[in-house]
């Protein structure tokens, strides 16, 4: 006799620290999954009740009182619902040790619990700062099927899955809060295929979705059968309840074919990740929308399009702040972008403000020649105006710098770096151009000449970015190799790069950590973003001296 168990992958977007709100979301989601999809088991992401990552909230004693109350509330609310909830949460024992947990809640009670065994402590993860490791598997019998519980990093290792299978598991359920990077989903699939090949059991992988500070969680939950085929694929970058049918056939348990959401290509993934990062940062932090400086250049044009696509035109304000060196076509293109996207737009010329500041500093600067000081004044005046608008309206200022500029310090501290959030912070300049063209294929909103003309900060006559920097194709290749891949300068030279250019760029990268440390948070797109991933000392004497 055969029968099926319906597992629903609950791909939700929790708010870190909002234990009451997350608890209510769990209760409502289980009831919805039962009513709409006849769910037997509803599996949630890692640390469901607190959201992930809660960071040093985990050091607050009161957090655990709230979590315990939340678990009681979930148990009570679901006591009359004929469905299991598999929920993640942190626990602190009487000795003060903390654990990353999963609870199997059935018939109004926690029937079983599991402690995460492998605690990641690399990149953006600091779990050994907070938690102790578990040692034992957890397998629960439900309607003739044995379900083994795993939490995130556990499935990337062999031993927890093997332990669960040895304890009798027919199917492995893994709860995850796995942040997005451009190759991460394929990495997950590859790891799970390797794991099922080792343990010969299906795995159901449930991932969180949503933005949390710099991190974006892309969802993309999926189920892999014992031969490695992806039988069910949930959508990326959206909340979803996705059904997985588990069937016992004699001695084996199989996953039946189900929904197959189409996975996004690289450009669409990057675009959706940045959109989600903007949307959740603005909404979860209670801002009234966003404001940004629109220069007529490619970076601010792409940022404007992303902001409108994330929030809606009514939530976005753009300000052009021209000066003597602002080209007429920049003014024209900025206005065209604002009109195409339907946002509130105005011009605030800065010449009079600049003249006033220049006069104030005239005596102090007497006998000196104009230099980068005067250029930076322009950028800083613009920053002051944007922050004033932000204070008055409650709108968040979006910075528009990209990863190439941030890497080498080609930006003005307290000037164009002003902002509460930096959407392009982990996007190389060459990728900015690619995403601009991607957006225009959906609907042209960025004038073609913004994409094709040489980029310029327009802080002095006839200025071009390449006056100070290598061509962006070369610069970005060096940044990717040195920052994201940790290659030595000698290895970069072997890629065909010029020795002197490499040394110039890598020393600019290392010299400008003091700027990056003061920059706004931005969406993490790679596995080596500035900030949480790459933690470089500001004060240090290290220099890449030679290429050998």
Cα distances from 548 to residues 133, 475, 492, in angstroms, run 43, 20, 11
Cα distances from 166 to residues 146, 162, 201, 223, 285, in angstroms, run 11, 6, 11, 21, 45
Dist. CA 418–CA 115, nearest whole Å: 43
143 is catalytic: no
Place of tokens 């949480």: 532
Place of tokens 């289980």: 30
Q: How many CB atoms lie within 10 A of CB 512?
A: 21
Dist. CA 395–CA 417, nearest whole Å: 17
67 and 89 in contact (C-beta within 8 Å)? Answer: yes
Cα distances from 114 to residues 81, 160, 214, 231, 341, in angstroms, run 22, 11, 29, 26, 50
Choosing from 25, 34, 106, 152, which is the catalytic residue? 152
251 is catalytic: no
Place of tokens 């007497």: 366
Tokens of 94: 């009487």
Choosing from 25, 75, 106, 116, which is the catalytic residue? 116
152 is catalytic: yes
Among the listed residues 149, 177, 155, 126, the one whose alpha carbon sits nearest the alpha carbon of residue 22: 177
Q: How many CB atoms lie within 10 A of CB 339?
A: 11
3-state secondary structure of 326: coil
402 and 516 in contact (C-beta within 8 Å)? Answer: no
Choosing from 46, 272, 405, 484, which is the catalytic residue? 46
Dist. CA 475–CA 455, nearest whole Å: 14
DSSP letter for each residue of 183-223? THHHHHHHHHHHHHHHH---EEEEE-EEEETTEEEEB--EE
Measured in whole angstroms, the distance separating CA 131 from the mean position of its chain's CA atoms is 23
Among the listed residues 305, 339, 329, 529, the one whose alpha carbon sits nearest the alpha carbon of residue 437: 305
254 and 229 in contact (C-beta within 8 Å)? Answer: no
Tokens of 479: 């940044």
DSSP state of 395: P
Tokens of 449: 């000449």
323 and 350 in contact (C-beta within 8 Å)? Answer: yes
Contacts for 107 with CB less than 8 Å, ≥ 6 apart: 79
Dist. CA 402–CA 333, nearest whole Å: 20
Q: Is the peptide bond before 245 cis (omega within 30 degrees of 0)?
A: no
Q: Which residues are catalytic?
A: 46, 116, 152
């Amino acid at each position: 006799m055969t029968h099926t168990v319906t597992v629903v992958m609950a791909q939700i977007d929790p708010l870190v620290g909002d234990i009451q709100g997350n608890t209510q979301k769990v209760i409502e989601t289980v009831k919805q999954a039962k009513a709409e999809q006849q769910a037997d088991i509803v599996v949630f992401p890692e640390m469901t009740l607190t959201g992930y990552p809660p960071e040093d909230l985990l050091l607050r004693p009161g957090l655990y009182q709230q979590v315990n109350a939340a678990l009681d509330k979930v148990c009570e609310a679901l006591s009359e619902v004929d469905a299991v909830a598999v929920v993640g949460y942190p626990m602190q024992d009487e000795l003060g040790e903390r654990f990353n947990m999963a609870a199997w809640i059935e018939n109004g009670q926690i029937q079983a619990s599991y402690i995460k065994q492998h605690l990641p402590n690399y990149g953006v993860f600091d779990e050994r700062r907070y938690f102790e490791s578990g040692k034992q598997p957890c397998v629960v019998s439900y309607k003739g099927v044995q379900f083994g519980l795993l939490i995130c990093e556990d499935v990337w290792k062999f031993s927890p899955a093997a332990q669960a299978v040895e304890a009798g598991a027919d199917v492995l359920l893994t709860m995850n809060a796995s942040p997005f990077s451009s190759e991460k989903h394929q990495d997950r699939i590859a790891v799970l295929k390797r794991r099922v090949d080792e343990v010969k059991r299906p795995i159901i992988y449930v991932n969180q979705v949503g933005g949390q500070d710099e991190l974006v969680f892309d969802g993309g939950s999926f189920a892999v059968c014992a031969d490695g085929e992806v039988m069910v694929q949930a959508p990326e970058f959206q909340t979803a309840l996705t059904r997985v049918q588990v069937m016992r056939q004699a001695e084996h348990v199989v996953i039946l074919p189900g929904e197959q959401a189409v996975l996004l290509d690289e450009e669409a993934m990057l675009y959706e990740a940045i959109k989600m990062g903007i949307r959740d940062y603005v909404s979860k932090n209670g801002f009234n929308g966003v404001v940004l400086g629109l220069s007529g250049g490619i970076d601010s044009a792409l940022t404007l399009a992303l902001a409108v696509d994330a929030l809606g035109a009514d939530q976005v304000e753009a300000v052009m702040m021209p000066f003597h060196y602002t080209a007429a076509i920049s003014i024209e293109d900025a206005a065209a972008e604002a009109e195409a996207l339907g946002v509130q737009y105005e011009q605030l010329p800065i010449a009079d403000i600049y003249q006033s500041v220049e006069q104030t500093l005239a005596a102090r600067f007497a006998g000196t020649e104009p230099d980068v000081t005067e250029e930076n004044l322009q950028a800083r005046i613009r920053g002051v105006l944007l922050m004033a608008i932000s204070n008055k309206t409650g709108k968040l200022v979006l910075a528009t710098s990209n990863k190439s500029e941030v890497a080498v310090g080609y930006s003005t501290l307290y000037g164009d770096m002003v902002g509460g959030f930096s959407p392009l912070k982990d996007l190389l300049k060459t990728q900015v151009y690619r995403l601009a063209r991607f957006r225009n294929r959906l609907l042209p909103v960025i004038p073609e000449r913004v994409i094709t003309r040489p980029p310029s900060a327009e802080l002095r006559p006839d200025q071009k970015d390449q006056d100070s920097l290598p061509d962006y194709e070369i610069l970005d290749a060096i940044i990717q190799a040195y920052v994201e891949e940790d290659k030595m300068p000698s290895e970069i030279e072997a890629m065909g790069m010029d020795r002197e250019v490499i040394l110039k760029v890598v020393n600019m990268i290392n010299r400008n950590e003091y700027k990056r440390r003061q920059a706004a948070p931005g969406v993490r797109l790679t596995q080596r973003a500035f900030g949480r991933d790459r933690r470089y000392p500001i004060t240090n004497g290290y220099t890449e001296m030679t290429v050998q």
